[in-house]
Structure 1
């Protein structure tokens, strides 16, 4: 067997081939960066998009003594507790992503939701009291008892009509939105006269204290609890998991 060197001499790679391989490598790098960004950004899809707010007329809204509002069928086997501030962007995002899925579960009688409204973002609003006034408006609408009306009003205040930090809605605007959701004239009067504002202020402050206790000193919204267990709402399947 000959040990002489091979006479084969590799042909140099053409510039065209080099450029082509470089282009492929660049495309792969860009794809990796793109998908890494999408993954890291936590971009989520709207759940049950198209369902809308609660539609079952048997669902009730019940204003409770601590200012919370329970939305659901009377015999729902599970009640989630959701802490939110009306001007909190994260709370608006929670409603945007999961509100329709929650509405369907509520309509089906699989769960109820007890909303606890807080007001620590009052200073972030133009008038300095929007969170309190919006909480009072939500209570005024809930006091009518209709789950369908309250759900629609709540959905609107936290999505399409949620003001950005630094702005707010007037009481007249809140009353108009309530009327558009189907609330009776008495609810509108309750909003425009500020009948529940001082009570709402006290109750929202109490909800802040309860939230701090549940989170061991922190007061972050939105926060969702299944009894004492805080739910990870970054997990897109959380609603289905708590109410299959």
Structure 2
């Protein structure tokens, strides 16, 4: 089209005003969308969750510390790439360890991996969970506690499997553990355990899965990010409500 020319019109196009049928179709479409939204809300509102299965929690814990005879057993759900979990470890880690040493509690740690995608490697949570599982198969709680804390601190660095193995070695892990971590041998198993643990957490919280979370007798413990008062209450024999 040259300068000064008017745009050519399509002689076959005849604009028409929207008739009653057009509004009818639009109205039906809006009703369908509204029905889907309302139906989804009703479904979510009335969705039921099965009770927490303690056997599944016990079988899929990444690491268990404490005597079976301890008065209380808690389940701790964390993700190694979770900043709130890192803060939780800084606030309550030492108190939890002392309570275990004193025979007050037994702790089942569940290392989840839904934050894998947020790490630089795309699988830091899973690889770290696999490393903890290697420690569980070959070493004791002291190695676990040290590596557990370090993996939160190193999350931003996104260390390789070999670097995680080197951390474990410095924490006292044996050759079998170091080889297991470096090879990533138990990462897939750790993922499967994470999925099973996450489902039990979802059952307890009616689908509101988040980390960190602590369960006592299958019920969520409140205010775990407000210092260690939550742990003091458990040691004192107070149960969560709900």
For normalisation by structure 2, the TM-score amounts to 0.69
Tell me, which stretches of 5 or more residues in structure 2 are unaligned? 1-57, 237-242
Shift of the alpha carbon at 1:188? 0.6
Q: Deviations over 1:21-53 (max 9, x none)?
A: xxxxxxxxxxxxxxxxxxxxxxxxxxxxxxxxx
User: Unpaired segments of 5 or more residues in structure 1?
Assistant: 1-63
Q: Is the deviation greater in 79-88 or in 139-148? A: 139-148
| Deviation of 1:97 (Å) | 0.4
Offset of residue 231 of structure 1: 1.0
Query: Which residue number corresponds to residue 214 of structure 2?
Result: 224
Contact map agreement 1:120 1:208 (CA 8 A) in 2 = no
Q: How much is the aligned-residue C-alpha RMSD, in angstroms?
A: 1.5
Which structure has more helix as a fraction of its residues? 2
The residue that corresponds to 1:146 in the other structure is 140
Equivalences, count = 177
CA distance in 1, matches of 2:191, 2:226: 32
How far did 1:83 drift? 0.5
How do 1:80-99 residues align onto structure 2 when only pairs under 5 Å count? Answer: 80-99=74-93
Show the 5 A alignment for 1:48-87. 65-87=59-81
Question: In structure 1, what is the equivalent of residue 36 of structure 2?
Answer: none
After the TM superposition, which segments of 4 or more aligned residues of structure 1 sit over 3 Å from their partners? none
* 8 Å CA contact retained: 1:67, 1:139: no
Aligned 8 A contact 1:190 1:196 in 2: yes
Q: Secondary structure at the match of 2:107?
A: strand
Q: Which of residues 192, 200, 208 in structure 1 aligns to 2:182?
A: 192
Which of 217, 232, 238 is matched with 1:240 structurally?
Answer: 232
Describe how 1:1-244 pairs up with structure 2 within 5 A.
65-158=59-152, 161-164=153-156, 168-232=158-222, 233-236=224-227, 237-244=229-236
Deviation, structure 1 residue 67: 4.4
The Cα of 1:162 is off from its aligned counterpart by 3.2
CA deviation string 1:163-183 (max 9, x = no partner):
13xx51110111011111111
CA contact (8 A) 2:88 2:225 kept: no
